[in-house]
Structure 1
Amino acid sequence: MTDHNEKLTAKSIPHSVWPADWLRKAEKEAADSLGITLYELMLRAGEAAFKLAREYYPGTQHWLVMCGHGNNGGDGYVVARLAQAAGIAVTLIAQESDKPLPEEAEQARDAWLNAAGMIHAPEVTWPADVDLIIDGLLGTGLTSAPRENLAGLIEKINQHHAPVFALDIPSGLVAETGATPGSVVNANHTLTFIALKPGLLTGKARDVVGELHYHSLGLEAWLQGETAPIARFDSADLPRWLKPRKPASHKGSNGRLVIIGGDHGTAGAIRMTGEAALRAGAGLVRVLTRTENIAPLITARPELMVHELTAASLEESLEWADVIVIGPGLGQQEWGKKALRKVENSRKPMLWDADALNLLAINPDKRQNRVITPHPGEASRLLNCAVSQIESDRLLAADRLVKRYGGCVVLKGAGTVVISQDGECGLVDVGNAGMGSGGMGDVLSGIIGALLAQKLNPYDAACAGCVAHGAAADVLADKFGTRGMLASDLFSSLYLFVNPDLNTRNHD
């Protein structure tokens, strides 16, 4: 395997994401096309995992390797053999089964036994000095809760003080969806092989994957000949959406945006949406709201043009605007309903959020010119199902939403999903737990609305807006932590990401 050493270091995370079931079927085809056996792939996976685990935990002296009864376990046998050869004490525990091991996993087990390795039953007492756990129990084929005997092992892993390094995916995490239907390993690091799977990036993934690493095992050339159905987006993608402005651009060329909302007691929501739109580069932002909100909003942000929402001002503003945002603080009373009934007849690009979505759930319709940005609770109302159903398969939920409502859907949450009616699908790989506070969605609506006003198409505006929003929050989290982050705090770092050319220069 030494010929492949230069290939067996972990690579940066790719921007293509592949369905786990497709990948399992395609793996043999890929290996055959390159003249590689599945056992050779397993050896590469085990060597890559061993090298990375040793890199992150160089002082560890006793590894506990947990092997399941599939190819994930086969990877574990390879790791165990390499660790033992390097002078590390290894205790290997294997899941028992009546079924035979896959051929390549059996080869890996035999190589471990031939190297004088021992295999222990799951009920063995764990040595007291174990200082690293290698998780190779369950792989990407899991679709339901782990069986009771495996669940017990998983809980024991989670209760142990040693860090956990997961092979391909933490055991118990569903590779297709990111759901955790039962017990799941809480890993400190996960090294995934060949391609990214959706379940590593959305759902409960953020809670259990730890730091994610990737290795192609030498199949990158084959993958490049395929078109991934899902994209992973982070701040590195922003320059392709957000080009530097031309020197002669002016406020008119940067888009006119009208934002409608802010019923009694919700001026804060509409103010944050308005300021976010300005901070994201909209040329002119008009707010239509309650009379009582006008003075506070102008005082707080004088660059906003704030007017009372009336039939006349709404009609004139819909004619004036390039893009419409409705929903933040809109309420569900007649005041908001009347505005929404007028807005829904417009053919201009628009974004609906918050109470506009709650009203849409009552009177659903389908349109091409609209971005909707539901959180899981709003999505559950739009689809008339439980929040747990939304979270059990976020990609499926987003697909159902776009089929029912059209346009572009942003399903917010950890691992935000963006999907268009044309079949484009992206997972937004930025953001953090500090964003779990009021007003974050209002800010996002303003950012996406501003990008629509700057002539991005709905899907690109939604993706770029979500990335800039989450990346701005990540800067704050790195500096100040996640607890106590306010939605309006994002304005201090947002400029870095809506001006990616500046961000690039600052990091050169």
Structure 2
Amino acid sequence: MTDLSLKITAKSIPHSVWSADWLRTAEKQAADYLGVTLYELMQRAGAAAFHLARELYPQSQHWLVACGHGNNGGDGYVVARLAQAAGIRVTLLALESDKPLPEEAACARDAWLDAAGVIHAPHHLWPEDIDLVIDGILGTGLNSAPRDSTAEIIEKCNQYALPVIALDTPSGLLAETGATPGAVIKATHTMTFIALKPGLLTGKARDVVGTLHFHALGLEAWLTGQTAPVTRVDSAQLSGWLPARRPTSHKGDNGRLVVIGGDHGTAGAIRMAGEAALRAGAGLVRVLTRSENIAPLVTARPELMVQELTPHSLDESLEWADVIVIGPGLGQQEWGKKALQKVENSRKPMLWDADALNLLAINPDKRQNRVMTPHPGEAARLLNCAVSQIESDRLLAASCLVKRYGGVAVLKGAGTIVASQSGQCAIVDVGNAGMGSGGMGDVLSGIVGALLAQKLTPYDAACAGCVAHGAAADVLAHRFGTRGMLASDLLSTLSPFVNPDLNSKEND
């Protein structure tokens, strides 16, 4: 069998993301492409996971391998056999079922038994010297909460303060959506095979996946010939969206942006959106807000052009601007409603956030020149459903948003989804828990608006803006931790990500 003991690092995580449902049906085609059996692919998967476990925990001496009644369990039998052959003590627990094992998993189980391996029932007493758990209980086919008997062993795995390596996906995590409808393994590491699945990147994934590792099992060339429905985006792609500027470019080339909002008591929201737009490279940024906000905003950030929002200033600014951002601190009173009514007639690229989206939910319309940036609560109002429905399938929710409202939707959260009505879809693989604080959405609105003003397409501006926003927050989390992170703190770490050409020069 091919030796798959290569070093596996985060750099090996691909940018193509594939439906778990599609992959299960395509595995036979993949095996035929290589001229191998599905059992050979299973052996490759088990070998890749075994070598990862040895690399991560070289001192471990007693592994507990929990096997379900499917092909994920088959991967576990392979890991157990290889570990035992390497002199590691193995305790293997297997779930019971009235149904026969799939053919490949049965072969893996028989190979384990032929190697003098022992299979214990799930309620078997755990030895006290277990130092590593291998999770092969449930695979990518799960689409509901685990059954009670399965949930019991999952909860038992979680009770022990031991490292856990999950095979393909943590048991209980839905590989298609990232939802966790019941008990779920809290893995320290997850080794996924052949292709990256969306549920490993969004929803509740970050709570349970741990460090994600990937192995294509030799199918890289086969995957290259397929068209992935979803893209994983991160800071490595920023240079493709944000090339170096021409030395002769001037402020007019970099776009004129008007930012509208900041009702009574919400000057901070519009100030953060405006300054973020400047920091992300917009050439000129005009803020239309309440008159009481003018002096504080100009004092804090004199580069902003700040005016009172009136019918005249709004008409003039909509004519002047290349791009419009509306929503931060807008409110839902008559002042904000009248501004939005005038903005919605513009054909220029625009971004709607916060109360602009809440007002849109009341009076829906569909347009192609708009980027929407809802959090799950706003998305639920836009789709007239519960937040739990949004979070149960975030990719579907984003798709429904653009189907109903057009343009581009950014469904914010852990594993932000960016979707366009033309069918493009991305999962943003940056960001951290520190971003769960007020004002983060205002900063994002300014960044994406600035990139629209610099002539990125709405979809590219949304992807690049979300990546730069999350990556800037990741720098802060690395330096100071996630608790206490402020939205305005991101302005101090944003520059390297909106200037990725500098990073590439430093690496040359």
TM-score, normalising length from structure 2? 0.99
Q: How far 1:5 sits from its partner (Å)?
A: 3.5
Instruction: Give the Cα–Cα distance (whole angstroms) in 1 for the partners of residues 437 and 61 of structure 2.
Output: 42
Aligned counterpart, 1:4: 3
Contact kept in structure 2, 1:263 and 1:329, CA below 8 Å: yes
Is 1:405 aligned with 2:409? no
Task: Note if contact 2:4-2:51 (Cα within 8 Å) is conserved in structure 1.
Answer: no
Following TM superposition, by how much is the alpha carbon of 1:33 offset from its aligned partner in structure 2, in angstroms?
Answer: 1.9
1:181 alignment counterpart: 181
Instruction: Give the Cα separation in 2 of the matches to 1:432 and 1:263.
Output: 29
Cα gap change, 1:274/1:8 in structure 2, threshold over 3 Å: closer, same or farther?
A: closer
Q: Shift of residue 258 of structure 1?
A: 0.1
Residues 267-309 of structure 1, C-alpha deviations (whole Å, 9 max, x = no match): 0000000000000000000000000000000000000000000
What letter corresponds to residue 75 of structure 1 in structure 2? D
Matches within 5 A, 1:251-266: 251-266=251-266
Distance, in Å, in 2 between the alignment partners of 1:438 and 1:136 is: 40
Q: Could you say which residue in structure 2 is the equivalent of 1:272?
A: 272
Q: Tell me which moved more, 322-331 or 99-108.
A: 99-108
Alignment of structure 1 residues 227-246 onto 2, 5 Å: 227-246=227-246
The aligned counterpart of 2:291 is 291
Alignment of 1:82-101 (within 5 A): 82-101=82-101
Corresponding position: 1:135 with 2:139: no
Please give the residue correspondences for 1:210-229 in structure 2 after superposition, counting only pairs within 5 Å: 210-229=210-229
Q: Tell me how far apart the structure 1 counterparts of residues 169 and 367 of structure 2 sit (CA, whole Å).
A: 38
Match of 2:169 in 1: 169
3-state SS, counterpart of residue 196 of structure 1: coil
| Cα deviation, residue 8, structure 1 | 7.9
**1:458-469 superposed matches below 5 A:** 458-469=458-469
Any idea what SS the aligned residue of 2:150 has?
Answer: helix
Per the TM alignment, residue 4 of structure 1 is displaced from its structure 2 partner at its CA by 3.4
Residues 8, 214 of structure 2: 8 Å contact kept:
no
Secondary structure in 2 aligned to 1:101?
A: coil
**Pairwise mapping of residues 340-419 of structure 1 onto structure 2 (< 5 A)?**
340-419=340-419
Give the AA of the match of 2:354.
A
Q: Which amino acid aligns with 2:487?
A: A
* Alignment gaps of 5+ in structure 1: none
- Distance in 1 (alpha carbons) for counterparts of 2:189 and 2:21: 23
**SS of residue matched to 1:228:** coil
Residue 155 of structure 2 corresponds to 155
Q: Secondary structure at the match of 1:32?
A: helix
Aligned residues: 507
- The Cα shift of 1:502 comes to 1.0
- Structure 2 unaligned blocks of 5 or more: none
Deviation at 1:7, TM superposition (A): 5.9
The residue aligned with 2:492 is 492
1:52 matched to which residue of 2?
52
The separation in 1 between residues aligned to 2:124 and 2:90, in whole angstroms, is: 14
User: Does the aligned pair in 1 maintain the 2:383–2:401 contact within 8 Å?
Assistant: yes
AA aligned opposite 1:499:
N
Task: Tell me the equivalent position of 1:208.
Answer: 208
SS of aligned partner of 2:493: helix
* Distance in 1 (alpha carbons) for counterparts of 2:301 and 2:259: 14
Q: Following the alignment from structure 2 to structure 1, what is the Cα–Cα distance between the partners of residues 95 and 151?
A: 12
**Partner SS state of residue 365, structure 2:** coil
Say whether the 8 Å CA contact 1:9–1:51 is kept in structure 2. no
1:182-224 CA-to-partner distances (Å, cap 9, x unmatched) read 0000000000000000000000001000000000000111000
SS in structure 2 of the partner of residue 360 of structure 1: helix
Report the Cα distance in structure 1 between the residues aligned to 2:190 and 2:367, rounded to whole angstroms: 41
Conserved 8 A contact 1:7-1:217: no
Q: Please tell me whether residue 338 in structure 1 is matched to residue 335 in structure 2.
A: no
Distance 1:178 1:5, change over 3 A: closer
Amino acid at match of 2:153: L
C-alpha distance in 2 between matches for 1:7 and 1:158: 29
Are the structure 2 counterparts of residues 369 and 171 from structure 1 closer, same or farther at C-alpha, using a change threshold of 3 Å? same
Distance of 2:162 and 2:369 partners within structure 1? 52
Residues 70, 138 of structure 2: 8 Å contact kept:
yes
Query: Cα distance, 1:503 vs. partner?
Result: 2.0
Find the aligned partners of 1:92 and 1:23 in 2 and give their Cα distance.
28
2:75 maps to which residue?
75
Partner of 1:475: 475
- Contact 1:8–1:48 (CA<8 Å) still a contact in 2? no
In 2, the alpha carbon distance for the partners of 1:15 and 1:376 equals 25
Matching residue's letter, 1:121? A
- Cα distance, 1:9 vs structure 2: 4.8
Deviations 1:390-431 (A, max 9, x none): 000000000000000000000000000000011000000000
Q: Secondary structure at the match of 2:4?
A: helix
1:236-277 deviations in whole A, cap 9, x for unaligned? 010100000000000000000000000000000000000000
Could you report, residue by residue, the CA deviation over 1:118-149 in whole angstroms, capped at 9, with x for unpaired residues? 00001110001101000000000000000000
User: What's 1:328 paired with?
Assistant: 328
Q: CA–CA distance in 2 between the matches of 1:169 and 1:223? A: 19
CA shift, 1:506, in A, is: 3.3
Separation in structure 2 between the aligned mates of residue 177 and residue 6 of structure 1, nearest angstrom: 30
Give yes or no for contact 2:8–2:213 (8 Å, CA) kept in 1. Answer: no
Question: Which residue in the other structure is 2:117 paired with?
Answer: 117
Q: Is the 8 A contact 2:411 2:418 kept in 1?
A: yes
Residue deviations 1:438-492 (CA, integer Å, cap 9, x gap): 0000000000000000000000000000000000000110111000100000011
2:502 maps to a residue whose letter is L
* 1:421 counterpart residue number: 421
CA distance in 1 between counterparts of 2:305 and 2:503 reads 30
Answer yes or no: is the 8 Å Cα contact 1:351–1:372 preserved in 2.
Answer: yes
Distance 2:144 2:337 in 1: 42
2:222 is aligned with 1:193:
no
The separation in 1 between residues aligned to 2:136 and 2:497, in whole angstroms, is 38
Task: Return the alpha-carbon distance in structure 2 between the equivalents of residues 36 and 318 of structure 1.
Answer: 62
- Cα distance in structure 2, aligned partners of 1:217 and 1:5: 8
Q: Residue 311 of structure 2 aligns with which residue?
A: 311
Q: Counterpart of 1:330 in structure 2: which amino acid?
A: L
Kept after mapping to 2: 8 A contact 1:419/1:426: yes
Aligned to 2:91, the other structure's residue is in SS state strand
Write the distance in 2 (CA, Å) between the matches of 1:506 and 1:395: 36
- Percent sequence identity is 80
Q: 1:6 to 1:67 in 2, by over 3 A?
A: closer
Seen in structure 2, the aligned counterparts of structure 1 residues 52 and 6 have a Cα distance that, compared at 3 Å, is closer
Could you tell me how far 1:504 is from its partner in structure 2?
Answer: 2.4
